[in-house]
Chain A
Amino acid sequence: MTTRMTGFDFERPAGLPALRGLLARLGKEQRRFTLAAGGTDLMPQLKQQQLATEVLVSLNGVGELAGIELASDGTLRIGALTRLAEVAESPLVRERQPALAAVAARVGSPQIRNRATLGGNLLVNNRCVYVNQSPLNRTVHAPCFKVDGDVCHIVKSAVRGKLPQCQARFVSDTAPVLLLLDARLVLLRGRGERRVPLRRFYRNDGMERNVLKPGEVLGWIEVPPAGGLRIDYDKLAVRNALDFPSLGVAVGVREDERGEPVELAVALTGLGTHPLHWRFALVGGAAPAAVVAQACARAEKSVTTYQQDFFPRDYRKKMIGTFVRRGLRRLGRGAWT
C-alpha cells in the first residue's frame, strides 16, 4: 500500500500581500497551517504522518521572496525561496561568498536542489531514528514527544517542556557556513518584520528548534561581506549524494589586510539539537597550532552525540577534529595541524 497525503487544504497565495492576507485570515480562524517552500523536507513527513496540518500554504507563488540581490554595502540579500541550485550557481554568490555556493551544492541531490530552497534548508526539521519512520514502525516503540507521545527514546529521563526535551539532531548543511558568515534572518510577521542574527536563531531542542514564531515567515537571508574570512565546509556522509550530514564541519580563517590570520572559527552541524560555533582569536601571540588543538578539544567536548545515525556516535565525535584539520589544510593552513 503506497502512502498518500490527505486531510488538508492547499493554498498558494500569489505575492506577498496575498500571503499576508491569507496568514491573517488563517490566524483569525485559528486553523493549523504549515508553510511549504520546496517541500523536500515537508513531503516525506506528511506522507509518513509525522506531521499533521489543516492547511498547507505553498510559498512558491510569492515571487518577492525568490532571488538574490547585492546591497550597496556588499551584503547579499537572498530570498528565502531561492532554490539551492540557484544559490550554488549564482555568479554573485560564487564571487562574493564562494563557501555558500559550495555548501549549497552539497545538499541532497541535483533533483532535490532544483526544488529545495535556502530558507527551507535553514528550517529543515531535526531528525531522529524514532521519528523519521513510518506509522507502523512508530507503533513498535511508544510514540515519542516529537510525534505527540510522552517519552523520549534517546534520553529516557527527558521531560516534556523542559529543554532539551528532544534530541532529534540538527541536519542543515548550510547553517554552519551562514553562521560563520554572521548571516541575519529577516522574519516577516503581519505587516512588520524583524531581524534576527542566525547565531541567536536556534534553540537547544529537537522540537522547539528555533525562535520563529507561529505565523512568521522567513523572508530573506542577509549575508554581510565576508571581511577576510575564508571558509571550508565538508560533511561526513556515507555517499557523495543524497545523504544528510552525519557531521558537517565549517572551518573559517579570517585574515587581515596583510593576509595575517586573526581568527579561527568552527561551526558544526549534524551532531546535537542545534548548530554549534566558536571563534578563537589568533592575535596576541597564541600559536595557531595550539589554538586549533584547543578548538578541536572544545568542539569535541561540547557536543553530545547519540546513537542515531549510520555512523557510531564515537566515530562521529572523533571525526570533528579530523575534519577541522582537513578543512584547514584545504584553506592552506596545513602547518597549523
Chain B
Amino acid sequence: MSSLNIVGRPVPQIDSRDKVLGRARFTDDIRLHHPLEVAILRSPHASARIVAVDTSRAAALPGVRGIVTGADFRHTFGVLVISKDEPAIARERVRYIGEPVAAVAAETADLAAAALALIEIRYEVTDTCLDPRAGLKPVAEPLHPGLGRDNNLHKQVDQHYGDVGAGLAAAPVVVEKRFTFAPVTHAFTEPHATQVAVDGRGNLTVYSATQVPHYLHMAMAEVLEIPEHRIRIIKPHLGGGFGGKSDPFPHEMIAAKLALVTGRNVRVNFSREEVFISNHGRHPTTMTMKLGYDPQQGVTAIDADIVIDGGAYGSFGVVTTYYNGILLQGPYRLDNLHFRTRRVYTNKPMCGAMRGHGGVNARFAAEVLLDMALVQAGVDPCQGRIDMIHRPNTLLSGGFRITSVGLKGGLEEAMRRSGWRDKYGRLPYGKGVGVACGFYISGSAAHIHRNNRPSSTVRLTLEFDGTVTVYSGAADIGQGIDTILAMMAAEVLGIGLDQVKVVVADTQLTPVDLGSYSSRVTFMAGNAARNAAISMRRLLVAAACRLLELPEPAWEKPEPPGDFFRQGRRRPDYSSDYLGPNPDYDSDGFRLANGQVTQVASGRSVPFLEAVRRALDEPGILQTFGTYRSPKLGGTFKGAAAGLSPSYSFTAFIVEVTVDPETGFVKVDRATCAHDCGTVLNPLAVQGQIEGCIHMGLGQALMEEVVHYDGVVQNASFLEYKIPSAFEQPEVVLVPTPSDETEGPFGAKEGGEGPLAPIIPAIANAIYDAVGVRLTEVPMRPDRVLAALRKAGAA
C-alpha cells in the first residue's frame, strides 16, 4: 500500500465555500415557475374525533386552487414497514395538537392563510393520554385501536442474555437508580421545506429537505397511489437533520397531492413552530436500572426497565425500543443483560430518531451507575472502565460482531491529556472531573425493507476530459458525505479533489443509497464509492498496459478475511463485488499519482489522460459501479437484527466542570474526547462532528427540554427552547484514537453520533466529583443541582 494522498488530510467540505457565500441552494431557495403556496391547518386538540369538515367557504375564496383533507388519502405511512400508522392528514380523529387536518394551495401565502381560517372543522373532544404510565393501564379509547390492545402500548421488547439474577447475586457491588429524561428535539437550522414541480405528463419532481430520499420515494408512491416512476426525489443542500428529517413527512405527501390535484407547482415551508410540533425528537424516558459490578470481572449484569413516551405515531419507535436495551452490550464486556422497554403512544407530537438514536438515555443511566459502583469499589473510574472495554474481534452474547476497538489506548491518552490522575478526587470543592464511554453502530446491517439489494450503490463515470463524476443517492445533510464520496474517488484514482464532481441524492440520476441515518453513510456509501473507483482504476491500468504493451495484471480476489468473521455461525456473505479488505487495491504493481499511471517496478508510465482516452476507445464510455452490503451477521432469534452493524465506533469523554454550589449552575470547562472512528478520513470533518456532539450533548445535559402543557408545545421557539450558546461550549481536546478496522472505507467507522451519548453522563459524573451529588434527572438544571445539594446537606 502506497501512502495516501487525500485520505487523512484536513479538507474543507467541497460545498462549504458555497454555503458560506450563500450560493448553496436549499430547498426553499429553489424557484419553480409560479408555485402555489401551501398552508396546513393544524389541530388545536390533542385528542378528538373529527365530526365534520367543511371546506366550501375556503374553496370559494378567489385564488385558492386546491384543498385536501384526510378524505383524500387512503393509505397511512411510516418509515418502518412495521409501523405505518401515520396519515398524511388526520381522518376521523386527531392524535396531537398540531396534527394536519387540512391543507390549502393558493396563489399567495396570505391567501392560503386566509383560506385556512375559513375551513370549518367540527371536533368532538375525547380523553387525552399524555402520560405514558397512564397509557400502560387500560384506557377507554386507545390511540391506535388497530393494535388490538386495551391500552396505549405500542411496542414492548423484553430480552434476556445470560443470567442476570446470577450476575447480580455474585456481584460485590450492586447499584440501582431511577432516571428520567426530558424530551429533546433536533433543533436543526433549516426548517422543513418541500417544493413539487409537476410536468404536463403528470410526473412529479419533489425537492425536499430529507435525509431519506429513497424511503420518501417509496412512501410517496404508496400514499399518492401512483407508480414510483412518476416520482423523482431531489434533496438539495440541507441545513441539518440529526434524525429530524429521516422519516417521510405529511407535508411532503400533502404538497405532492396538491401538485397532482391542481396541476401546478407547489411550495411548502415550515415555521419554526411547525418544526417543533412535528418533532420526531428523542423519546422522553423513565428507566430503572440495576447494575452489578465486581472489580475482578467488571460489570456482571445489567437489568433495566424502561418506558419511553412515543407520542402519537410510530416513526422509528420500534427501533428506539430495541436500542434502549440492546446498545448496553458495549463498550464493556457484559454477559448478563435483561431489559424490558415499553414504548407508549401518547397524544403528543411523535418521537423518533435523534442523533445517538436510542442509545443516549440508557447510556447515561449505565455510566452513572457504573461510576457509583466504581467509587463504591474504590476503583479509579477511568482505569476501571479501561479494564472492561471489549477486545477487538469478539462476538458478543447478543450476536454483535465487534471488529476494531481503539478505545483502550484512546482513553489512556485522554487520561494523560486531561490530567486525570492529578484532578480526579483532588480538585477543590465545586470543581470536578468525570468520565464516561460509549459505542455506536456504523450503519445498520439489516435493511428496513427486506430485499437482497446492496445498502449503497455508486456509479462512477470518467469523461475524456478527465472529469470523474460520482453518482450516489446518499444524502448529505451537513455531515459531509458529498466530500467523502469525492475523496474516495480522488484517493483511489490518484487525482485531486477538484477533478471529482458529485451528483447526489436525485432518484432519477443516482443509484440507491438508503439514506442518512444510523451513522451508515460514510461506512456504506464510502465503501461503495471506493469500490466503484477501484473498478475504474482497473480500467485505467488495463489501458495503460495496452499503451505500454505490458500484460494486464492478474487481479485476484483477495482471500476472504480470517476465521473471526465466521464466528457469527453463518459464513460472511461477500458479494462478488467485494473487493477485499482495505486498503490494498494497489497491490497490482501500478501507481496512479501526479497525473501518471506508472508501473512501479519498471518506472514506465503514461499520462493519466492518455490512459483515459485509450480506455475510452472500445466502449466510448467509462462507467463503473461499486456497492456495499454488510456481511450477514447475528443470530436468528426475534429481534436479533436490532443493533447489528458491520462495525462499531467507541468513545470516551473526560470532562471538567465547575459547579456553583450557591446557584447550582454547572459550567463545562473542558471536554477531552477519545473517539475511535477507525481511520480519520478527514480530520476537519471529524472535529466538526465531535464538537457538534459536545454542543448537542451539553444542551440535553444541562438545559434542553421540550415543554408540553395540556399537550401543546409551550416552547416552540429558539428563544424558549434553550440550545447552548457559543459561550457555553467548552474547550475541546481531541485525542487520537486509532484502531485497526478492516472493513470500513480506508478503515473508517462512524463519527457523527457515537460521541454524543457519553458526554452527558461524563458531565453527571464530573458533577459528582465536584460537589458529591448524583443527578438522575436530565436536564441537570441548576435548580435540580441545588435541590440535590440541599438534600445531601440535610442528610
Contacts and interface: CB of A to CB of B under 8 A. Distances in A.
Contacts of B38: 1
7 contacts: A132-B720, A134-B273, A137-B273, A137-B712, A137-B714, A239-B724, A311-B782
Given A136-B98, A140-B711, A315-B783, 11 more contacts: A1-B38, A1-B112, A4-B110, A132-B720, A141-B712, A240-B725, A242-B719, A310-B781, A315-B786, A322-B663, A326-B662
A242 B269 contact: no
Contacts of A319: 663
Contacts of A322: 662-663
A3 B270 CA distance: 9
Interface string A157-200: 00000000000000000000000000000000000000000000
B391 interface: no
Given A315-B782, A315-B783, A240 B728 contact: yes
Interface residues of B, number: 42
A233 B244 CA distance: 40
B109 interface: yes
B299 interface: no
Contacts of A109: 725
Interface stretch (B39-47, B382-390, B568-576): B39-47
A283 interface: no
Interface string A277-316: 0000000000000000000000000000000001110010
Contacts of A239: 703, 722, 724-725, 727-728
A1 B716 contact: no
A6 interface: yes
Contacts, number: 83
Contact of A310 (B109, B268, B663, B722): B722
A240 B37 CA distance: 39
Interface in B749-774: none
Interface of B: 37-40, 42, 44, 97-98, 109-110, 112-113, 191, 268-271, 273-274, 277, 662-663, 703, 709-714, 716, 719-720, 722, 724-728, 781-783, 786
B722 A136 contact: no
B788 to A, nearest CB: 13
A150 to B, nearest CB: 18
A312 B271 contact: no
A331 interface: no
A50 to B, nearest CB: 13
A181 B110 CA distance: 48
Interface of A: 1-4, 6, 109, 129, 132-134, 136-137, 139-141, 236, 238-243, 310-312, 315, 318-319, 322, 326
B239 to A, nearest CB: 15
B622 to A, nearest CB: 46
A238 B722 contact: yes
Contacts of B783: 311-312, 315
Contacts of B113: 1
Nearest to B42: A136
Given A1-B40, A139-B44, A243-B722, A129 B782 contact: no
Q: Across chains A and B, which 6 residue pairs bring their CB atoms closest together, nearest first?
A: A240-B727, A315-B783, A241-B725, A140-B712, A1-B39, A139-B44
A139 B273 CA distance: 14
B274 A1 contact: yes
Nearest to A316: B783
Contact of B716 (A4, A137, A318): A137
Contacts of B270: 1-2
A47 to B, nearest CB: 9
